Structure 1
Amino acid sequence: MRILKNLTQDKLAIISLLVIIVTIVVGIFASIFAPHDPEEVNMSLRYANPSWEYLLGNDHLGRCILSRLVYGIRPSVLWVLAALSISILIGAVMGFMAGYFRGKIDAFIMRICDIMLSFPGYVMTLAIIGILGVGLENILIAFILMKWAWFARVIRTSVMQYTELEYVKFSIASGNSAMHIIFKHIIPVTFSDIAVISSSSISSMILQISGFSFLGLGIQAPNPEWGMMLNEAREVMFSRPELMLAPGLAIIIVVSAFNFLSDGLQVALNPILMTSKNKLQENEVAK
């Protein structure tokens, strides 16, 4: 409740959260919100201007841009969220094991993480795509393989910090099982750290998957995706620049919303930052 109360004081974070919720809901129920079939080709409407029937106009194949934008939420945002969730789950399991049990378990897991993190993210992702082939599924697999190690290292640091707290040491001395201590004492306090790093990571993943689709390595036609829509509009970017506007703005708005929400969560979860922010606001009001 305290975190929610602190977050509600940040109007930009609340607006960002509402934008994210609306985007997810529209993506899940895309068949309801999309006015037309996103793959329906109608060459008579090729490059048609916006109208009441086609609010954002039509692309080079006469397809409804708004419908493709709505359906593009699924690969651009929803599937990225799914890949992020799997990465966090794997990273959390490994991070909790390494941070709590330490010793040989910690050394073994961290050496694996060192190996995974020693390669540049983009290079490793391109290598995986080269082995498995192009496509959205293979990019998501590459994301999971690359991201879990980073989450494991960050979560391990938090777990090692919280296991030094007095009440956790008392619970260990009382003879409680490791699983009981982790689920009752450590997970609740590390949840805030996981929430912050997750909200900040989703932005980079959305940009990466849009970038790979723009290069033709992601989802393939005729399936709609924001990065691929930018790639399709690239050929007429000087004669029809408005075709790049819709998917470009969609990426900017969603990525910005996740970034602003991440900043808001970081402030809401950190009492020191919250106090500093309140003092700044009081000084501005005083002026």
Structure 2
Amino acid sequence: TVPRFLTAPGEDAPLLRRALLQAAVETAQEQDCSGVHVLYPTDEEADFLEEAGLARRITLQFHWKNPGYQRYDDYLARFDSKRRNQLKRERAAAATQGIQLRTVRGADLTPEHAQRAYTFYTSTCERHAWGQVQLTPGFFERVFRDLPDTVEMVEAVKDGQVIAGAFNLATPERLYGRYWGCTEEHPFLHFNVCLYQSVDDCIRSGRKVFEPGAGGEHKVTRGFEPTAVHSAHLIFDKRLDKAVRSFLRMEHMRLAPAVEEAERICGLKPWATPVPGSTGT
């Protein structure tokens, strides 16, 4: 989630947002696009887009948030003893399986890491019915070459071979989990590569938030908190636009009980995000 309507400081931001949105719609129509979609805007921008007539969607991601942990044990301390022991067992599984975990970043990244990232990415896409390979080897080569301070690669090594990996992107305050894959299946390998190793890294480096990607209600029991993310949609075909808006209203009605259950497990305050359509959209 970042600002999507970029305006210079001191300018009339609401006025320029309206101009930018109008230009986006006109450009999409001129190019015979099916519609305009704004993904991951800020809350303020999502409010503006809804007021402008776009269909607003609210979905959930599960983010790990760091209130100031000094050690990994501080993170474990937030759980009751049963859940704490479960997490300890899951993380300890790697050692009993003869698997070492490491995070590679900065100058230690090589073209070989980019090749492995692509291999793991495609292995996951091909393993699942919903998977679709969209990124190319060249994409990973360019990212690892040109953005070494932004890329992190979590790797699982067994008998001298890298058997699993996660391709992440990082800023000083946030870590973003993107793609993972493996060539061998082991219990809890996914949790160790995609969650626990990076949580520990975030605590060590003082990062405030770890966003491991979409989906995954299993993350709630591991301390990842339900977080609302927004998008807004304008579909030019009136029939399809009506159907999508109807779906979004039903989706939110189904989402609310799941959010409440996730918050109960996390011990969080009740969710207070407004229901799409409450203002007539």
TM-score (norm 2): 0.22
More helix by share: 1
Larger Rg: 1
More strand by share: 2
